[in-house]
Each structure stands twice: as structure tokens, then as C-alpha cells.
Amino acid sequence: MSKYITIGMDLGNKKHAACALDQDGKVLWRREVANTPEALKPFFEENAGATVAMETGLCCRWISALAKSCGCDAIVGNARKLAAIWTNTRKNDENDALLIAEIARSSRRLFHPVELRDDERHEMVQIIELRDVAVSQRTQAVNSVRGLCKAHGVFIPKCDASCFHKVAKGAIPPGMAWKFRPMLRHLKELAATIKRYDAMLEKYAHEHFKEEVELLQTAPGVGQMTSCAFVALVADPGRFGSARDVGAYFGLTPGQDQSGDKDAPKRVTKAGSALMRRLLVTAANHILRASSPDTALKRHGERICARGGKVARRKAKAAVARKLAVVMLAMLKSGKPYDDGHAARKAGAGIVS
């Protein structure tokens, strides 16, 4: 009988609300299950064969894997696209579990199932995210030290963030140094931590994704961090029907709100991975620098910048980031390194945009 049951689970930090529907959509039971493997395993074993539906979240990866290992058909829906759940005026855990079950039972397509990354790609993403945390802490600390010194008329020279603690130590007067000394030591430790994560990422990528990462680094503006994140987050390039779809996947295409004769312009959707989007925009910014080599991607951005103003510059960054993502996916699909002449011809024909 379990194979005809759809179980909706609203995942929580301490416990999960579960609601089971039969094949006709009638509520069979409602339960609460503790958020521990010891409590969830017997729950899934008892309902082996059932479809277990849940939204994306911090715990969905290991819970869905556990459900599958116990004989359940686990599906994970994209929480961003399940507006019926988070806009419900009577939102609570029980109602959320019921809505999840109802949507998953009625139509898998409307539940917007996602394909979770494999273990190797998930590990690489976590290394990148941990490094990103350390970089954010360093940026905040550097800005704070600069600002506090500026209040005393002390201006620390511009330098790379990795050696800021050395430059600041020499620039801060002895009478002020005592209060900045602990923070400068912290910055030194952060620089060492980031360096260790860089080495860790390089080693891991070389062991698991050497060919793909090295291939992507032939594209302009693409370094180790961007190439590793792209390989990990794209996973299987074949799941994209067209290379252009990757722009929307990472939220770099404008939203659409068309109705009748109205088609108002919208900002980029910012869907998908914020980390990947930031890395692509950083790469685009590098491509658009005056000192960067002349490439088809740079010329594409310069044509948009020529319209003038800060808005044009911002649009150029987004456009180059989107085009770069399309080029990178096409490279993964073809297995061929970056060819600027080919990219220029594609851009001229309006194929890569």
C-alpha cells in the first residue's frame, strides 16, 4: 500500500511535520518526526515504497538520501518556486506539509524537483563556501581597521588584502598600535587560513575534476575559484538543452512580466547560486578592466558601456557575466578550450548572449 502514498515533509531544525495522502488525495495521517537519523530511519522503513516530498533546505540532502536508502521515492522541490507554500495566509508546519504532499501528488513538474549534486561536487562547493566565509571576515576586518585609523588621520596605503596586516603594522603610529595589534594578528591568521583553503581546493580539484577545471581556465577572467565552482554547480552539462539556459540558471537574465501589450523591463532574477553569480560578475569586472587583454567578451561589454553612465556599466558587467557563463558551459559540452575568434563569431551572429 505504501507505494500509493505521498508523504509531504516540512523540514525543521529539531523536528519535521509529515502528512500522508492516499492516491485519491485523502489525508491518512499527520505526524512529527525528530530531526535525527535514529528517528527518521525507522519512519522511512515503515513507509518504504512511498513518495516522500520535501523542499530544498540545509537538511534536504542527507534526509532525501536516507529516505532513498530505506526504499522510498524521495523528491526535493525548489523552495523558491513553491510560492503556494510560503505565501499561504495560514502558514504553519502542518499546513506546509499538507501543501507539499498535495503539490507532489498532483504534479511532479509543478513541484519543480531539483537534482542534488553528487558527493564530490558537494565537497568542492563546501570548500569554496568555507573559503568565502574567511574572505568575508577579512574584508570586514580590513575595512574596519582602515575606517578607525582614518578617524585619527592615519591613512593606510592601498595594498593586497593578503598582506594588509604587514602594511598596516608599519603605517599605524606606535601610540595607537596597542589596540590594533590583536586585529592585525587575526588578519594574519585569516590570510593563512585562506591560503590553506586555496591549496586544499587546488588539490581536490586536481584529484577529481582536473580536465574540466583546466579547460575552463582557458577562458578570459576565469581562475581556480570560478572554474571549480562552475564545474561543481553545473554538474552535468547535458541537462541544459541550450548553453544559453545557464544564464537563467544562475539568475543573470532579466525577469519577465509580460501581459497583453505590456512587457515591462525587469532586473536580473538573481535565481540560483549567489556565490556563482558573484564569481561570474567578478570575472566580468576583470575582463572589462582597461589593462585586460582585448577579447570578444571585453568588446561585448564595452559596447554596452558606451551607452554611458553607471547603469550602463552595471548592465555591461551582468551581460559579460552571462555571456561568460554561456561560453563556459559550451566549453564543457564540447570539451574544447576557449577560442576567441569562435566566441566573436557567435556574438556577432547573436547566438551567445
pLDDT tens, residue by residue, 42-92? 999 999 999 999 999 999 999 999 999 999 999 999 998 888 888 888 889
Instruction: Confirm if 93 and 47 have CB atoms less than 8 A apart.
Output: no
Instruction: Confirm if 127 and 229 have CB atoms less than 8 A apart.
Output: no
Averaged pLDDT for residues 331-352: 76
Q: Give yes or no: residues 251 and 139 share one domain.
A: no
CA gap 250, 276 in Å, rounded: 7
Amino acid 347: pLDDT: 59
In the chain, pLDDT over 70 holds for what percent of residues?
94
Q: Print the domain residue range for 184.
A: 119-208
Q: Give yes or no: residues 34 and 98 share one domain.
A: yes
- Domain end (from 174, 193, 208): 208
| One-letter amino acid for residue 177 of the chain | A
Sign of the CA dihedral 210, 212, 215, 217?
Answer: negative
Q: Give yes or no: residues 236 and 338 share one domain.
A: yes
Grid cell, residue 219, equals 577562458
H or E element in which residue 19 lies: strand 15-21
Averaged pLDDT for residues 12-21: 96
- Domain end (from 208, 225, 245): 208
Q: Give yes or no: residues 70 and 28 share one domain.
A: yes
**Per-residue pLDDT for 145 more than 70?**
yes
**Per-residue pLDDT for 352 more than 50?**
no
Query: pTM value?
Result: 0.86
Q: Give yes or no: residues 254 and 334 share one domain.
A: yes
What's the first-to-final CA gap in the chain, in angstroms? Answer: 50
Residue whose C-alpha cell reads 570548500 in the numeric block = 127
CA gap 6, 42 in Å, rounded: 17
CA gap 343, 61 in Å, rounded: 37
Instruction: Give the pLDDT confidence of 105-138 residue by residue, as tens digits.
Output: 999 999 999 989 999 999 999 999 999 999 999 9
Residue 113 lies in a domain: no
Q: Give yes or no: residues 278 and 186 share one domain.
A: no
Residue 111 lies in a domain: no
- The torsion angle over the Cα atoms of residues 225, 230, 232 and 238, rounded to 10 degrees, is -160
Instruction: Confirm if 270 and 251 have CB atoms less than 8 A apart.
Output: yes
Instruction: Confirm if 143 and 155 have CB atoms less than 8 A apart.
Output: no
Taking each helix axis from N to C end, the angle separating 309-334 and 274-287, rounded to the nearest 10 degrees, works out to: 110
Instruction: Confirm if 19 and 30 have CB atoms less than 8 A apart.
Output: yes
Grid cell, residue 288, equals 572589462
Amino acid 353: pLDDT: 39
Residue 114 lies in a domain: no
Residue whose C-alpha cell reads 565552482 in the numeric block = 229
**Per-residue pLDDT for 351 more than 50?**
no
- Domain end (from 208, 237, 260): 208
196 vs 2, 16, 192, CA distance in Å?
Answer: 49, 38, 6
Q: Give yes or no: residues 165 and 235 share one domain.
A: no
Amino acid 259: pLDDT: 64
Residue whose C-alpha cell reads 595594498 in the numeric block = 159
Q: How many structural domains compose the chain?
A: 3
